[in-house]
Amino acid sequence: MENRITLRHLEAFRAIMVRKSVTGAAEMLEVTQPVVTRLIADLEERIALTLFTRTKGRLVPTPEAALLVKDVEQSLLSIERIANAATNIKSLKMGRLEIAASPNMALSFLPRAINSFTLAHPDAHVSMRMHSSPTVLDMVQRDQCDLGFAMFPARSTKAGNSETLVSAKMVAVVPKAHALATKRTLRPEHFEGERFISMMPLMESRMRIDSLMLSHGVKRHVNCETQTSAAVLQLVEAGVGISIIDPLTACGYTGSGVKFINFEPVIRNDYSIVISQRNSSTLILKPFIDHAKKEILNMVPAHLLIRS
């Protein structure tokens, strides 16, 4: 005889304790009376305890049954909680999502993605932290977040599963009253001698722009450095100089003091997502990623997109 106790055994035992009869237990469980009787006899045999005495066709609880009933109730409640938790998880009601994002992504399409996602799943909770792209990748690798959004080619990292959301062209930005504001396209030679606002040394975009200008023999007057593209825009608007920035930051600009101009040759920006190994469940990750993909494509105009 197998000694394993099943959920059905516990349900039959509780039903008799609640309804005080086999007939009532059978109605409660929506089974026949012989099924209830057989389940109780089987349970008694498996636990080697007499739970009911049989008096004139009735089952009367023994003291052992009275001691056992509380534990059975707790076990059934725990199973019910597990079932409810599973249902909640499936509907994202218990979903908690922790993301880390570079500033240009955190301040552009991600707020819109979070808005559309939480409207669709109102009981989900999203936490977003803003860091540099290298720090975001490090956080994913250390399992300190579920999703990382950063500027890097997806193939360049081994931190989790990565995917490029969008590849797009960097754009030049000048004050609206600047002499170059009338140009339709800017090239390296247009930056000769111009006051230029750069990202901080060792940042990837800074190194790529510096390398390009060097290869064309262009000497700029780098008079200001900063850490974020949003700060670059504010500095350009203030007249500190001109620059080249990522397209997401440009698309998110709502002011009127600067002019964005196409830049050639193309400098490519890859906006990627990387998924931490700590959360392999797609119940909450995939819906959010789908919202993020939709919002970033809605934000970047077609003429700036680089098709694979």
- Asked if 111 and 251 sit in the same domain, the reply is no
- Asked if 137 and 283 sit in the same domain, the reply is yes
Task: Please report where in the chains the tokens 């469980």 appear, as a residue.
Answer: 29
Residue 87 forms part of a structural domain: no
Residue 64 forms part of a structural domain: yes
- Asked if 190 and 245 sit in the same domain, the reply is yes
Pair 143, 276: CB distance under 8 Å? yes
- Count of beta carbons in the 10 Å neighbourhood of residue 16: 26
Residue 115 forms part of a structural domain: yes
Residue 1 forms part of a structural domain: no
- Asked if 190 and 66 sit in the same domain, the reply is no
- Asked if 133 and 216 sit in the same domain, the reply is no
Residue 89 forms part of a structural domain: no
CATH code of the domain covering residue 208: 3.40.190.290
Residue 226, pLDDT score: 95
Residue 91, pLDDT score: 53
Cα separation of 229 and 307, whole Å? 23
- Asked if 288 and 159 sit in the same domain, the reply is yes
CATH code of the domain covering residue 294: 3.40.190.10
CATH code of the domain covering residue 38: 1.10.10.10
Total tally of structural domains belonging to the chain: 3
- Asked if 256 and 274 sit in the same domain, the reply is no
- Asked if 46 and 190 sit in the same domain, the reply is no
Residue 54, pLDDT score: 80
Residue 84 forms part of a structural domain: no
Segments in the chain below pLDDT 50? 1
- Asked if 160 and 181 sit in the same domain, the reply is no
- Asked if 175 and 261 sit in the same domain, the reply is yes
Residue 226 forms part of a structural domain: yes
Residue 122, pLDDT score: 85
Q: Whole-prediction pTM value?
A: 0.67
- 38 Cβ contact list (under 8 Å, min separation 6): none
Pair 295, 109: CB distance under 8 Å? yes
Residue 67 forms part of a structural domain: yes
Domain boundary among 79, 111, 127: 79
The residue type of 176 is K
Residue 162, pLDDT score: 84
- Asked if 287 and 145 sit in the same domain, the reply is yes
Q: Which domain holds residue 125?
A: 94-167+270-301
- Asked if 294 and 218 sit in the same domain, the reply is no
Cα separation of 264 and 244, whole Å? 11
Domain boundary among 50, 79, 108: 79
